[in-house]
């Protein structure tokens, strides 16, 4: 066995030990051998509630470095808790340099299922809360057992609430350019939705909703910034 493989094995073993210890004071058991996703920013594994006698893995846990991106995602998930737009966040915590988010486990959307308008209305809901998705694609959308389409990943999303006219210190130009940035982000979300989910017969209906979403008021501006 090469030195590189030995080191990688040791790193994996150490990570499993750390991940197991993180749950000692929590109600969750991370199934280290059941990794269902791994990306640039972290790993997604199944998780079990320790109080669940049946022992079914009805949840997933996202593990990533506890940086600004992690805390931003936790904040966004909390702000969307009652909107029925995302997988329910059950718990979150930081242990050492790593952050953990436990989410309700969802099921994949069938490839032939047309969910374009579902995604458009999800985006409309989060945009009204000054949040933009910025990564709209099939991989980041799943559905509940009753067929409700939901977003599952806000890792690179942005919350513009602190940018658009929410503090007394903000000036007219802060609000003006903040609104422009938000509007561009909204347009990016809609463009991604069209690319990933759009079909010719549905895009026309979605455009009407899109036009409604782009009319975002800048509350401290006397008029809306022009497009």
| 10, pLDDT greater than 60 | yes
pLDDT band at 21 (very low <50, low <70, confident <90, very high): very low
Instruction: Tell me, yes or no, whether 100 and 179 share the same domain.
Output: no
Instruction: Tell me, yes or no, whether 72 and 138 share the same domain.
Output: no
Whether 171 maps to a domain, the answer reads yes
Residue 132, phi then psi, degrees to nearest 5: -120, 145
Instruction: Tell me, yes or no, whether 26 and 50 share the same domain.
Output: yes
Instruction: Tell me, yes or no, whether 18 and 85 share the same domain.
Output: yes
Strands 98-104 and 59-65: antiparallel
Compare 16 and 197 and report the one with higher pLDDT.
197
| 28, pLDDT greater than 70 | yes
CB atoms within 10 A of CB 39: 12
What does the pLDDT read at residue 227? 36
Instruction: Tell me, yes or no, whether 203 and 151 share the same domain.
Output: yes
* Residue 133 to residue 123: CA distance in whole angstroms: 8
Domain extent for 127: 116-214
Kindly report the CATH number assigned to the domain that includes residue 183: 1.10.510
- What mean pLDDT comes out for the span 92-110? 92
Instruction: Tell me, yes or no, whether 78 and 144 share the same domain.
Output: no
Instruction: Tell me, yes or no, whether 182 and 96 share the same domain.
Output: no
Whether 227 maps to a domain, the answer reads no
Instruction: Tell me, yes or no, whether 64 and 153 share the same domain.
Output: no
- State pLDDT tens for residues 110-136: 988 999 999 999 999 999 999 999 999
| 87, pLDDT greater than 70 | yes
Whether 219 maps to a domain, the answer reads no
- Whether this prediction's pTM lies above 0.75 is answered by no
| 220, pLDDT greater than 50 | no
Instruction: Tell me, yes or no, whether 142 and 195 share the same domain.
Output: yes
Nearest to 67 by CA among 156, 185, 164: 156
Kindly report the CATH number assigned to the domain that includes residue 84: 3.30.200.20
Instruction: Tell me, yes or no, whether 28 and 91 share the same domain.
Output: yes
C-alpha torsion 192→121→115→42, nearest 10: 60
What does the pLDDT read at residue 62? 93
Q: State which of 104, 134, 154 marks the end of a domain.
A: 104
Whether 110 maps to a domain, the answer reads no
Whether 97 maps to a domain, the answer reads yes
Instruction: Tell me, yes or no, whether 126 and 204 share the same domain.
Output: yes
Q: How many domains does the chain have?
A: 2
What does the pLDDT read at residue 48? 86
């Amino acid at each position: 066995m090469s030195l590189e493989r030995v080191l990688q094995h040791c790193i994996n073993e150490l990570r499993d030990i750390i991940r197991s210890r993180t749950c000692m004071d929590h109600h969750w058991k991370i199934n280290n051998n059941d990794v269902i996703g791994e990306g640039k920013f972290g790993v997604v594994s199944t998780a079990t509630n320790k109080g669940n006698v049946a022992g079914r893995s009805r949840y997933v846990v996202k593990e990533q470095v506890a940086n600004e991106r992690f805390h931003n995602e936790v904040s966004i998930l909390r702000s969307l808790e009652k909107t029925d737009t995302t997988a329910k966040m059950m718990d979150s915590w930081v242990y050492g340099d790593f952050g953990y988010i436990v989410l309700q486990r969802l099921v994949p959307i069938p490839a032939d299922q047309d969910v374009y308008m579902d995604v458009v209305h999800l985006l409309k809901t989060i945009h009204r809360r000054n949040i933009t998705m910025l990564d709209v694609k099939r991989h980041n959308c799943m559905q509940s057992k009753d067929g409700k389409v939901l977003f599952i990943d806000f890792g690179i999303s942005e919350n513009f609430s602190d940018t658009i006219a929410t503090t007394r210190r903000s000036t007219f130009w802060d609000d003006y350019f903040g609104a422009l940035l938000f509007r561009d982000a909204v347009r990016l979300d809609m463009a991604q939705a069209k690319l990933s989910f759009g079909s010719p017969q549905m895009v026309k209906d979605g455009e009407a909703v899109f036009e409604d979403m782009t009319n975002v008021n800048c509350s401290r501006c006397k008029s809306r910034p022009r497009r």
